[in-house]
Amino acid sequence: MDIRWRARSVWLSARGVGYVVVLLVVALGCAACETSTPSALTPASSVSLHAPQRLPASAWEQVALPAAAADMRGFAAAPTDAALLFACSAQPAAYWRSTDAGVHWARYPLTLGPQDQCLFSIAPDDPQRVTLQIRRSAQDGPWCASDVFYLSNDSGVTWRKLPPHVSIAPTDVSYGWCDLHVTRRHLYLAYSYEPPEQAPQVSLLERSDDDGASWARADRGLGGETLFFMPAIGPGETLTMTVLRYPDTTDTGLWTSTDAGDTWRQTSTLPDGVGTFLWTLPPRGNSWPTANQPFYALEHEQLPSDLYRERAVMSADGQTWILLPPLPVADVSESRAGILQALDVLPDGRLAVWGADPEAGLPPEGSGVSMPMSAFWLWLWNPVAQTWQAMPSPLEVTSYEGCGLCWQGQAAASRDGATYLYVSRFWESVTGGTPPGLFRIRLADA
């Protein structure tokens, strides 16, 4: 049996403030696995490498925060109302809500420890339903049992505390976390933890149909040793997620449930090396995904970002996966695609990333990147035209790079139909220049 080593990465918060661990797991070859064969890894189109499509000019604007950026502990923008923002701060310890894109903030007292995090989830099929999770920095007892959960049914105006959660994670794990997501009818709680004795990191999934009063397993059929993140929410009771199963195979599979997690089946296998990130949008109608609303998955997303080795694959049908071409700039290659960090998927299906300077291209391999960086270039992948589009001017902030997931991106549509992209980076102090914080840009239609 062929045995290989592969670095696997884990993002500890898909929304809100998060942090990263990099796992090294043993990849065991499998001569006769029951999964389908990997899809071909081919370019999505023959894009010109000399003339990137430029989008109309749009100015970046800094969003006023209710506390110093270093004291922020969580942020979210409502995906269907770009002016509605949620935030948490440690000093002062508070939950904040803004209905005018940060011009004014309403404060709600909240008990927070100095290193606690706030995570928000907004139901994709009912934006009135919002959850707030306080992830405790110091756990007392089983992982996730000390976290505190709140639910709002009126877009964050009023909240009620959910019953204390009885963690199902083992008590002897070396590290763990959980993540709460909400839909119109359900709450989902995903765990991920590292068992003792350096065993591979694994995941669990629970579902509540009565707003946290009771919980049941929603990952039956996946197997006992799997790694995944929170599922994407599809039409009806459909869920889908990318899953790593071991020790019998190291291929990442796309798994789908049509009954809210009661049963699962594998629908495709992703290209070798793709991790457990699945980015997509809530479906419009019963077709999911589609050519203009595809699934995206990431590769090398946690290598140091200044290596420009991150890549993305997409699927318009959940079966066939294709590799996005490199950015159309100088000195890119198959291994250095020019992506600094993926940010989010826009409401029209475009993928937003930080990428190389459209004029200067990539720095020579091995030469390093100027630190700190003072300009971040926004690129958009258009899945319909199958082209990369570049903004004409960068976000001019000063930030040290090398962390593949330090920036948080959140796309939102305004009530008048415009598309905004929020980007944030907290907890960083840079001498000189404009430090990171919270910024947004209005984007032209595709």
pLDDT in tens, 72-123: 999 999 999 999 999 999 888 899 999 999 999 999 988 887 778 999 999 9
| Whole-number Cα distances in Å, 238 to 12, 183, 261 | 24, 11, 8
Distance, in Å, from the CA atom of 133 to the CA atom of 82, rounded to the nearest integer, reads 21
**Res. 322: pLDDT tops 60:** yes
Number of Cβ atoms within 10 Å of the Cβ of 202:
23
- Is residue 307 classed as helix, strand or coil in its secondary structure? helix
Architecture of domain 3-32+48-443 in CATH? 7 Propeller (2.130)
Beta bridge partners of 383: none
pLDDT in tens, 32-84: 333 333 333 444 433 333 345 566 668 899 999 999 998 999 999 999 999 99
How confident is the model over 17-45, as a mean pLDDT? 35
Where b means 16+ CB within 10 Å and e means fewer, 5-37 reads eeebbbbbbbbbbbeeeeeebebeeeeeeeeee
C-beta separation of 190 from 228 below 8 A: yes
pLDDT in tens, 252-298: 999 999 999 999 999 999 988 888 889 998 888 889 999 999 999 99
* pLDDT score, position 141: 64
* pLDDT score, position 436: 87
Domain limits of the chain? 3-32+48-443
How confident is the model over 154-160, as a mean pLDDT? 95
* pLDDT score, position 302: 84
Place of tokens 């190291």: 250
Distance, in Å, from the CA atom of 348 to the CA atom of 424, rounded to the nearest integer, reads 21
% of the chain beyond a pLDDT of 90: 57
Asked, as a colleague might, if the bond just before 92 is cis with ω within 30 of 0, I would say: yes
